[in-house]
A and B are shown apart, each in its own frame.
Chain A
Amino acid sequence: MNILSNIGKLISYLANPTRFLRFSRFATPISGWSALVLISVGLIISLFISPPAVEHGQAVRIMYVHVPAAWCAMAAYTGIAIASLVSFVWRHNLADLVAKSLALPGAAFTFLALVTGSLWGRPAWGTWWQWDGRMTSVLVLLFIYIGYMAIWNIVSDRRQAARLAAILAMVGWLNIPIIKFSVNWWNTLHQPATISEPGAPGLPLELLTPLLLMFLGYTALLAWFALRGTEAELATLKRQRKAQSAPAKITIEDVPS
């Protein structure tokens, strides 16, 4: 309960753009640089140091790009849904900007997960694409992102766009379990979760280390995208406002005689 109320305090603290910028002045570089370092180290370990897996061979290295991308695809949408709820219910000033700036990276991660999954599927299952439960639901997630971005694109008034996009994000979030259930019931081929479930086989340490590094690096990258995107949106808003509130200038030109 204490944690929840602290998070609530932090959220309302950050509703003020000036305070947010004060927070992001150090949070943005921290997340950006840690993403760079973690992903570089993770890439070096996963590409050169870690051994090929017994079953998959060298193709296992795709996993280090694929699994974190899929995680970030889902994390970004969860972030959008939560930010939308905060923005819709409490009319939080910045939550809609956070949600908006999570959309494009989220869609990109979803696309990356689909492409790398397809590249992995070829050696592992002998097919580029299969209409199985997980692949289909990730594809549907990409459609959800496209619809969400379309709303931001067509509505010119920012507040209106924020509210409409928030409604769509929340309805989409409610639909995710239904989509997941229907698609799973439809067809399933993808391997079940390897790490997260208790009693699952688990990964050997030399494969787990680069995966965890990439995991953290991707998450930091996502945070950097969200913070940097919000900063950029704020800067755009500020510029618009400045143009609106500037005093009118009239230049009287010489009247030709």
Chain B
Amino acid sequence: MSALVKIITRDFVRAARSAGSWAYGLVFMAIFLSLSAIALDGDMTVLRQMGVPLIWLAVTFAALMSVDHAFSEDLRDGTTGQLWLSGVSYLSQSTSGILSFALIQLCPLVLTAPLWSLLFDLSGPTVWGLIIALLCALPGLAAFTALAGALTGPRGKGGFLAIFISAPMLVPILIFGMAASDAFLMRGIAAVEFRALFGLSLLALAVSIPATAAALAANTDR
């Protein structure tokens, strides 16, 4: 437990010292959403319909683009192996990596959703549905992205490979995420789609933690 907390604290400190590179995902999201709105000709009736799916896509792609922050730095400079030698198992390294990736990279993306929804003139309940659905999807999104990061390891090329690898796993999350965002308007938080989405997220977490640990082990010993 203490190793877990220490690694997460270290990740926060490192993010604070990284001269803002933790925020690249946010910048990507801002650019992606503005360009989408411009490509859609700024037509508010269209934008209002496209807002929720576009923000979902932006969050997903921003997460994949920032996958290099998950494990590749540690694998590149040998920290993963050093931690393992000093008795921190791969399992706790993968758990703490996924947690800090979710907290540092993904939470800002989700929590700024109200700001982005201004670009698309979304109504209040729509924004609430969007945020709650994104929060439900957050563990799954973090788990699959981090797994892709651990698999590509030190060879990550700006998240391109992560997109190839995790695209199939993200399909169910996108499907249920969109469904949950829509269902909120009619049935609120009690809608069954939210439970399905959160269940999916937890399943993703359960599969990804050991798989990420195995990938870290495979990437460390040669």
Query: Knowing A155-B155, A182-B176 touch, does A172 contact B215 (C-beta < 8 A)?
Result: no
Does A40 reach chain B (CB closer than 8 Å)?
no
The answer, among B165, B167, B172, B203, for a CB contact under 8 Å with A168, is B165
Known: A160-B219, A163-B218. A171 touches B167 (CB 8 A): no
Of the candidate stretches A22-30, A51-59, A173-181, A231-239, the one touching chain B is A173-181
When distances are taken between beta carbons in the complex, the residues of chain B under 8 Å from A168 are 151, 165
Given contacts A147-B165, A150-B161, A168-B151, contact A183 B175 (CB under 8 A): yes
**A140 CB within 8 Å of chain B:** yes
**Contact between A150 and B164, CB atoms less than 8 A apart:** yes
Q: Which of A148-165 contact B (CB under 8 A)?
A: 150-151, 154-155, 157, 159-160, 163-164
Please tell me if A108 contacts chain B, counting CB pairs below 8 Å.
no
- B124 CB-CB contact with A under 8 Å: no
* CB-defined contacts of A157 to chain B, threshold 8 Å: 222
A178-B203 CB under 8 A given contacts A151-B165, A155-B155, A171-B147: yes
Binding-face segment, B78-86, B95-103, B206-214: B206-214
Number of interface residues of A (CB under 8 A): 31
Output the least CB separation between B49 and chain A (Å): 17
Q: Is the CB of B219 within 8 A of A164?
A: yes
When distances are taken between beta carbons in the complex, the residues of chain B under 8 Å from A82 are none
Please report the C-alpha to C-alpha distance between residue A175 and residue B208 in the assembled complex, in whole angstroms: 11
Cross-chain contact A147 with B219 (CB below 8 angstroms): no
Q: List 28 A-B contacts (CB under 8 A).
A: A141-B168, A144-B168, A147-B164, A147-B165, A147-B166, A150-B161, A150-B164, A154-B152, A160-B218, A160-B222, A164-B153, A164-B218, A168-B165, A170-B211, A171-B147, A171-B207, A171-B208, A171-B211, A172-B168, A172-B169, A175-B169, A179-B172, A182-B172, A182-B176, A182-B200, A183-B171, A183-B172, A186-B179
- Interface residues, chain B, CB within 8 Å of chain A? 147, 151-153, 155, 161, 164-169, 171-172, 175-176, 179, 200, 203, 207-208, 211, 214-215, 218-219, 222
